Amino acid sequence: MYVAVGQFAVTPLWEENARQCVLLMAQAARQGAALLVLPEALLARDDQDPDLSVKSAQPLDGGFLQTLLEESQRNRLTTVLTVHIPTTQGRAANTLVVIREGKIIGTYAKLHLYDAFTIRESRLVDPGGQLPPLIDVEGITLGLMTCYDLRFPEMALNLALAGAEVLVLPAAWVKGPLKEHHWATLLAARALDTTCYVVAAGECGNKNIGQSRIIDPLGVTIAAAAEAPALLMAEIDRERIVQARRQLPVLMNRRFAPPQLL
């Protein structure tokens, strides 16, 4: 199965961001991808207004997602991204959305909010209360995560033990001292913790690092982007997952019960 990762710089205009997503969807489908992972918080972003993503929140039937759903009707591509969905007045949930064939087939409200490194996401964003669903794409099982979730190995482990073979991660990883190092290290670590592929998309604006990656179940990076807009493609091979889990049976060798997130 071929997977694609699209990274770009999100603008303050949701219409422009929707247009960019549609272009990446069409390009990924033309190149034969079954899965496209896009970055986190795609409705709007402004370097001068850190709250714009929440201010621009739209419901699931809003114009942004309807534009993407129209494009989704043209092929069998599964697309994963996150947007902010209104909750109460002035607040929103950072919501991962999975779309296929013109329909929303899965959603997940981000569990771990980014209250770290001087940023407090929970100031305007409500955390989710449920683990994400597993999603099947051409017989391969996806586990869903969003950005800061990456720092919590118990989440990746719970998904793998539930049956995930690929972890997908839309992100907007903020720049800062050692942050690029953390990103690369944590992506490889989650692959090795779970013997899953990791497919991670990063927003590449002025404040975020980009650096999307596709990593195999033994922690090898098989596709990577730098800081500029890009569309990555790589093949995910189920036999590679089987082989990795035979050589490194960490899921079977565990001596501790999995931690319960909720």
Catalytic residue numbers, as ranges: 40, 110, 147
Find the distance separating the first CA and the last CA of the chain, reported in whole Å: 33
